[in-house]
Amino acid sequence: MKAVKLLGATAVAAVLAGGYAWAQSKTLTVVSWGGAYTKSQVEAYHKPFIAKTGIQIKSEDYDGTVAPIKAQVQSGKVTWDVVDVELADAVRMCDEGLLEKIDVKALPAGADGKSAADDFIKGTLHDCAVSTILWSTIYAYDGAKFTGAKPTTIADFFDTTKFPGKRGMRKTAKINLEFALMADGVPAAEVYKVMKTKEGIDRAFKKLDSIKKDIVWWEAGAQPPQLLGDGQVVMTTAYNGRIFDAALKDNKPFVIVWDGQVWDLDLWVVPKGSPNKDAALDFLKFATTTEALAEQAKWISYAPARLSSIPKVGKFNDGKTDMAPHMPTSPANFKNAVQNDYLFWADKADELGKQFNTWLAK
């Protein structure tokens, strides 16, 4: 086993150290979601990669939509080299030929010597994408706004009689429909079975109707903590890492409700026709090693996608806060969780997106 470990480390070193003289002046454009999440990537991936290779990284933020990637590839004017995307979008874009293929065998072995195929959590490696994190959409509330009963279930988010006040929700069909059905009594394990029927989708929209007048829509991940902090909403759906960051670093009285969380993956992809394809793939390999993924968990509460990274998750970068209890996959948080059905959304995103926009306009 030691020989295997040494071989894996040597191979990674050779990939990262060799052949970079030609690329010292190159700049990679790495695109992600901004805020605390991009900060975690800059610290765990960008800075070490720059130091190791001399290749500079230009970090850009986007809204997570497929449209700009599709437009770049189809126009033949690709300016983004590596993009952080959600799983349904990665599968969809790969099927449409918008992404470069990724050879799993070329990914570095784990710190324990296991091949990438065996070390990555099942379902996190794909033809055109490599996962970095497991994250969740949850809802959170401002603890200062509730002096009596506290929200504890996904149904409470939709109960504006018991818990009056505005709700923040992402301006998209995905996840909102899942939350609505669970709040309406559909068991977590049956959510997508129900969503595959017209009656199920109608039921979800009917539940959303019950709070429509109280919804404040958000589109970027940094917005939910701001909405809570500014008092524009008393509860909001959000990415768990954003709420953790606001509560810990900004000392906000925000509380996460894990019941009904919908967990998902984020993955690196390389748009088809990237002008820096080789360097982009090398960055991707660097940014999915055991150590790099564990390092990201020091900066945000998202679980690493490699098994060998999990034991290396320690404290937050403050040196005080244990990160394990704040991960979506912590047993206490994972009791009533739904995995985003990426195949469902890869197939239904356009159709349900149009239905959602029609519903919004009513």
Same domain, 153 and 54: no
275, exposed or middle or buried, with CB in 10 Å at 0-12, 13-18, 19+? Answer: middle
Please report, for the domain that includes residue 245, its CATH number: 3.40.190.10
pLDDT in tens, the chain (362 residues): 333 333 344 444 444 444 444 445 589 999 999 988 999 999 999 999 999 999 999 999 999 999 999 999 999 999 999 999 999 899 999 999 999 999 999 999 999 999 999 999 988 999 999 999 999 999 999 999 888 999 999 999 999 999 999 999 999 999 999 999 999 999 999 999 999 999 999 999 999 999 999 999 999 989 999 999 999 999 999 999 999 999 998 899 999 999 999 999 999 999 999 999 999 999 999 999 999 999 999 999 999 999 999 999 999 999 999 998 999 988 899 889 999 998 999 899 999 999 999 999 99
CA pair distance 214, 234, nearest whole angstrom? 10
- 84 and 191 part of one domain: no
Give the CA angle between residues 165, 224, 246 to the nearest 5°.
110
Residues 89 and 129 in one domain: yes
Query: Residue 17's CB: how many other CB atoms inside 10 A?
Result: 10
Secondary structure of residue 313 in the 3-state scheme: coil
Instruction: Say yes or no: 187 and 234 in one domain.
Output: yes
Task: Mark whether 51 and 105 lie in a shared domain.
Answer: yes
pTM over 0.85: no
Domain match, 8 and 93 both:
yes
CA 355 to CA 289: how far, in whole Å?
40
Is 269 found in the same domain as 241? no
Residue 241 lies in domain? 137-263+327-361
* Total domains, the chain: 2
On whether both 181 and 250 belong to a single domain, the answer is yes
Of the CA atoms within 13 Å of residue 241, those in its CB half-sphere come to: 29
Q: Please indicate, yes or no, whether residues 170 and 253 belong to a single structural domain of this protein.
A: yes
Same domain, 296 and 239: no
64 and 13, same structural domain? yes
Q: Are residues 113 and 188 in the same domain?
A: no
